[in-house]
Amino acid sequence: MKITSAVLLILVSSVSSLEPASSRELSYPTPVPTPTDYDDYFDYAYNHDDDFNDKTFGPTPVPAPTVDDDYFGYDNNTPAPTPVPAPTVDDDYFGYDNNTPAPTPVPTPWPSTKDPTPNPASTSKPTSARAGEDPHFQTWNRTKFDYHGECDLVLIDNPEFSNGLGMRLHIRTKRMKFFSYIEIIALQIGSDTLEFNNNIDNFLINGEKAAETVNYISGFKVKRYSSALSVRLDKKSRGNCNAHIDFFYFKNGFPSVKPDGKGTNLFEGSLGMLGEWGTGKMIGRDGVTEITDATEFALQWQVRNTEPMLFSSARFPQFPSVCTPPNKMLGKRLGDSHMRKAAENTCAAAGEDIEECIFDVMATRTMDSAENIGMGGALTY
């Protein structure tokens, strides 16, 4: 290859201009220390402006997001949502108040197996009373009194009987000059009514002649005996308490009635002509006022026109017409002393009821009234 003179001249000039390496100083940039924390970046940057002219000191720490920052930590000027409180009774399913009160929890009732008439509790209080003949009344505490007016009277009023089934026992009296007697007795339990007019074979249930076989009044059995009807208040599911209401027949036409709880509180809550149950006090319709006069007490318990008519037909007087009073009893009549002596002999076995027995004999002028001693004997139940 031929090299021209011009090219050789350039090469020679270039080589001759080079100096030996030993005659030159070598210059290297100062090493940048590796910062160990953010403070080193700031200290070094301010002292080495030549190396950090752009004032970039390392990565800027990213602060933790605040409630005003979004998911990536940047403020988007959107207020953070208000924390949702736990739902209260006024909040809906999602915890927001809908101003609708929560419904009151309704407990699930236990299945009821209770009999309409519960087992009556025993008591030491007198639990029987009676009314009969012309007519004599004996309250639950054995207080006795007579009333001889003519009207319909309430013996027992007990709306709470048998868990609210209710019981009413009414009598209708008939006047005979200066005395009266019980003509008809009516018993209502629930919606059923029994009428007894001193005829065991011909009594009524709900206005119809009773069946010749078995009869019931609101589920309570009515049993026939030779001298009485007995409404049994001891359903099998309640146990054998023997409580009953007996209707006694008498030949003189003066029936009587005797409710008997047999040592239980079955008649608790009763008011009426038989007095307040448990005390026997003659209490008025307000359930508070005690009345001592027999006539005033009877007028207080005359059947009102706001009470149901238990008898199959109405008869004067009906409230607001008051009870018809008896005629004033005549003085001594010829033969009274003889009649009284005979009455005393006939009524000798009456015991505590002897005065009532003597009065009946003297008033009716017949010894047949003496058979009503005690207003009903004992039945074999």
User: How is the chain split into domains, by residue range?
Assistant: 130-326, 330-371
Residue 57's pLDDT is 45
- pLDDT tens digit sequence for 108-164: 333 333 344 444 666 667 789 999 877 889 999 999 999 999 999 999 999 999 999
204-205, strands of its sheet edge to edge: 152-158, 167-176, 179-189, 192-196, 204-205, 208-209
Residue 96's pLDDT is 41
Instruction: Count CB neighbours of 22 within 10 A.
Output: 5
- pLDDT tens digit sequence for 258-302: 999 998 999 999 999 999 999 999 999 999 999 999 999 999 999
Instruction: Count CB neighbours of 166 within 10 A.
Output: 16
Gap between the Cα atoms of 373 and 279, Å rounded: 24
Ranges of residues in the chain with a pLDDT under 70 are: 1-124, 235-241, 329-335, 350-351, 363-381
Gap between the Cα atoms of 332 and 46, Å rounded: 146
**319 burial class (0-12, 13-18, 19+ CB within 10 angstroms)?**
middle
Residue 229's pLDDT is 96
Residue 345's pLDDT is 79
Residue 368's pLDDT is 62
Rounded to two decimals, what is the model's pTM?
A: 0.63
Residue 41's pLDDT is 41
Among positive and negative, which fits the CA dihedral 204, 228, 198, 313?
Answer: negative
256-260, strands of its sheet edge to edge: 144-146, 136-138, 130-132, 256-260, 244-248, 228-232, 220-224, 215-217
